[in-house]
């Protein structure tokens, strides 16, 4: 009886912790990592108490629903193990020494898988006991859709809209340099800051993809450009609108950017002379899975024939989206080399990744 109660408490805690973990934006990194340990402790309690389940695997003549349950449970177990390993890979607080993943994409994907499979697993326990099987199946399906949507849509949305991170610019940007063989590449970037009419209370409306460096607002891509510039010893160049800037509100910017993309607009930007460069490191955010249209203006205006364009994208979940093929189409004579696509939350700590990337390019 007591075993059953402990098991139930551990199970409830696991679901509660997992949902809290996904609301990372509210709890912050350190609490997230500590809660992660608590999750795995509960998981061990669960496995010890339900250890008999492993023995049932070799039983013959099980109903189809049992086979399905067992497959889901095995998959869940595997996902949790991978989640645990990946959590160390992205840890900054508890295991900073063994941080081996440059991006938290895999970890976040696994967390969604664990939550969805967890709902399916828990729901199936209910299914076996339920009298109305059809209703149980509908409830389980709805639960799974809600869990997957939380991880795939709500979490990235919250991260984009509510995140405001304070950093020290020099601490994040300066460090080891790369002695580039030959003419150094230009570092060109686009970011919202400098291209947006921000209101004074901007944090309230769009903490979103904004960073505060030493009290000054700074764009994600601007920070990355600062890092790349420091690594190479070059001054980054911003793609800057000459006309109307984007609105302060994040949502309004998203709408304007969507309209621009549909219209394939080419907002006017200050000219950037690339004629003297052999290579350009282009740092840009994903907007609607594409390059922001001012980046298209920059690419169309320059002559990139025979040059190499190294890509560093930033995003809130979409990898490179369509941007690689878009850039290739805009600069058919250039060699386009995708480098990395960094999740917005990982940007302040991306210097090591950029350093490794630039060292790799330098060897080619
Ligand atoms: C207008 C707009 C559209 C966006 N669209 C996407 C998108 O389609 N996929 C994605 O993963 N992130 C998207 N994002 C998130 C940004 O790519 C991400 O927050 C980026 O790091 C912002 O960089 P910045 O601070 O340099 O402007 C969008 C952001 C904005 C402002």
Mean pLDDT for the stretch of residues 188-216: 74
- Tell me, in angstroms, the distance from the centre of ligand 1 to residue 232's CA: 26
Question: Using CA atoms, how far apart are residues 320 and 178, in angstroms rounded to an integer?
Answer: 25
Whether 195 and 67 map to the same domain: the answer is no
> Do 92 and 197 reside in the same domain of the chain?
no
Share of residues in the chain with pLDDT > 90 (%):
71
Range of the domain at 68: 2-162
Q: Which of 283, 285, 345 to mutate to test the pocket of ligand 1 (most atoms within 8 A of CB)?
A: 285
Which atom of ligand 1 is least distant from the CA of 317?
11
Residues of the chain with pLDDT > 70: what percent? 95
> What's the count of helices (H) and strands (E) in the chain, helices before strands?
15, 10
Instruction: Examine the domain organization and report whether 99 and 181 are in the same domain.
Output: no
Residues 53 and 65 in one domain: yes
Q: What gap in Å lies between CA 79 and CA 113, rounded to an integer?
A: 7
Looking at residue 102, its pLDDT comes to 59
* pLDDT value of residue 136: 95
For ligand 1, say whether the CB of 289 is within 6 Å of any of its atoms: yes
157: Cβ below 6 Å to ligand 1? no
**Of 137, 162, 187, which residue is a domain's last?**
162
Q: Which two tokens stand for residue 179?
A: 């002695």
pLDDT value for 93: 83
The pair phi, psi for residue 169, each rounded to 5°, is: -60, -50
State if residue 219 touches ligand 1 by the CB under 6 angstroms criterion: yes
- CA of 289, closest atom in ligand 1: 8
Task: Give 162 Cα–ligand 1 centroid separation in angstroms.
Answer: 13
The pLDDT value recorded for residue 316 is: 79
Q: Is 40 exposed, middle or buried (0-12, 13-18, 19+ CB in 10 A)?
A: middle
Residue 209 confidence (pLDDT): 53
The span from the CA of 37 to the CA of 318, in Å, is 28
The DSSP bridge pattern shows strands 210-213 and 279-285 to be unpaired
222 and 356 within one domain: yes
Which of 250, 286, 318, 342 has most ligand 1 atoms within 8 Å of its beta carbon, as the pocket-test mutant?
Answer: 286
Q: Is 159 in the pocket of ligand 1 (CB under 6 A)?
A: no
The pLDDT value given to residue 165: 79
Whether residue 338 sits in one domain with residue 268? yes
Q: How many residues comprise the chain?
A: 364
CATH code of the domain containing 173: 3.40.50.360
d(CA 138, CA 76): 21
Asked whether residue 153 falls in the same domain as residue 185, the answer is no
* 242 and 268 Cβ atoms separated by less than 8 Å: yes
Q: How far is CA 235 from the centre of its chain?
A: 27
CA angle (223, 226, 230) in 5-degree steps = 145
Task: Among 161, 190, 208, 209, name the best residue to mutate to test ligand 1's pocket (greatest count of ligand atoms within 8 A of Cβ).
Answer: 209
318 lines ligand 1 (CB under 6 A): yes
Confirm if 178 and 358 have CB atoms less than 8 A apart. Answer: yes
Q: Which atom of ligand 1 is nearest to the CA of 285?
A: 17
pLDDT of residue 163: 66
Question: What are the tens digits of pLDDT across the range 282-330?
Answer: 999 999 999 999 999 999 999 999 999 999 999 877 789 999 999 999 9
C-alpha 344 – ligand 1 centre gap (Å): 8
- Best residue for ligand 1 mutational test, from 159, 160, 255, 321 (most atoms within 8 Å of Cβ): 160
- Cβ within 8 Å of residue 210, ≥6 positions away: 163, 164, 192, 193, 202, 203, 217, 218, 219, 220
Examine the domain organization and report whether 120 and 242 are in the same domain.
no
Average pLDDT across the chain, whole number = 91
Is residue 104 lining ligand 1, measured as CB closer than 6 Å? no
Burial classification of residue 77, based on how many CB atoms lie within 10 Å of its CB (0-12 exposed, 13-18 middle, 19 or more buried): middle
Look at the chain and report how many structural domains it folds into. Answer: 2
The last residue of a domain, from among 110, 127, 162: 162
158 and 175 part of one domain: no
N-terminal to C-terminal alpha carbon distance within the chain: 65
Q: Are 192 and 329 in the same domain?
A: yes
Q: How confident is the model at residue 278 (pLDDT cuts 50, 70, 90)?
A: very high
- Kindly tell me the burial class for residue 96, based on how many C-beta atoms sit within 10 Å of its own C-beta (0-12, 13-18, 19 or more): exposed
Q: Same structural domain for residues 87 and 181?
A: no
Residues 171 and 101 occupy one common structural domain: no
Cα(279) to ligand 1 centroid in Å equals: 25
Output the pLDDT for position 207: 42
Positive/negative CA dihedral, 93, 94, 98, 100: negative
- Ligand 1 centroid–CA 313 distance in Å is 10
- Of 162, 194, 221, the position where a domain reaches its end is 162
For the Cβ of 340 lying below 6 angstroms from any atom of ligand 1, the answer is: no
According to the model, what pLDDT value does residue 95 have?
86
What is the distance in A from the centroid of ligand 1 to the CA of 12? 35
- Whole-model pTM: value is 0.70
């Amino acid at each position: 009886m007591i075993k059953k109660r402990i098991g139930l408490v551990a199970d409830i805690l696991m679901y509660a912790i997992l949902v809290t973990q996904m609301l990372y934006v509210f709890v912050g990194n350190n609490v997230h990592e500590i809660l992660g340990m608590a999750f795995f402790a509960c998981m061990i309690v669960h496995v010890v108490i339900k250890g008999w389940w492993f023995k049932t695997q070799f039983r013959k003549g099980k109903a189809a629903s049992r086979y399905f349950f067992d497959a889901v449970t095995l998959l869940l177990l595997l996902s949790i193990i991978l989640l645990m390993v990946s959590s160390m890979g992205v840890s900054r607080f508890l295991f900073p020494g063994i941080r081996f993943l440059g991006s938290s994409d895999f970890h976040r994907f696994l967390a969604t898988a664990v939550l969805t499979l967890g709902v399916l697993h828990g729901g199936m326990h209910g299914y076996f006991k339920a009298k109305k099987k059809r209703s149980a199946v509908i409830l389980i399906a709805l639960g799974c859709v809600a869990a997957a949507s939380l991880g795939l849509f709500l979490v990235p949305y919250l991260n984009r809209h509510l995140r405001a991170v304070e950093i020290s610019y020099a601490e994040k940007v300066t460090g080891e340099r790369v002695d580039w063989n030959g003419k150094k590449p230009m570092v060109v970037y686009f970011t919202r800051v400098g291209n947006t009419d921000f209101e004074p209370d901007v944090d309230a409306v769009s903490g979103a993809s904004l960073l505060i460096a030493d009290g000054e607002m700074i764009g994600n891509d601007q920070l990355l450009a600062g890092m790349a510039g420091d690594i190479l010893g070059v001054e980054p160049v911003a793609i800057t609108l000459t006309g109307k800037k984007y609105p302060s509100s994040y949502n309004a910017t998203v709408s304007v950017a969507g309209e621009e993309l549909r219209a394939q607009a080419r907002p006017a930007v200050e000219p950037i002379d690339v004629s003297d460069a052999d290579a350009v490191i282009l740092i840009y955010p994903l907007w609607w899975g594409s390059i922001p249209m001012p980046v298209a203006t920059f690419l169309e205006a320059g002559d990139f024939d025979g040059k190499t364009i190294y890509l560093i994208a930033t995003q809130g979940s979409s990898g490179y989206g369509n941007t690689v093929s878009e850039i290739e189409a805009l600069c058919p004579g250039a060699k386009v080399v995708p480098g990395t696509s960094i999740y917005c939350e990982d940007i302040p700590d991306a210097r090591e990744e950029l350093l490794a990337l630039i060292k790799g390019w330098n060897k080619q």
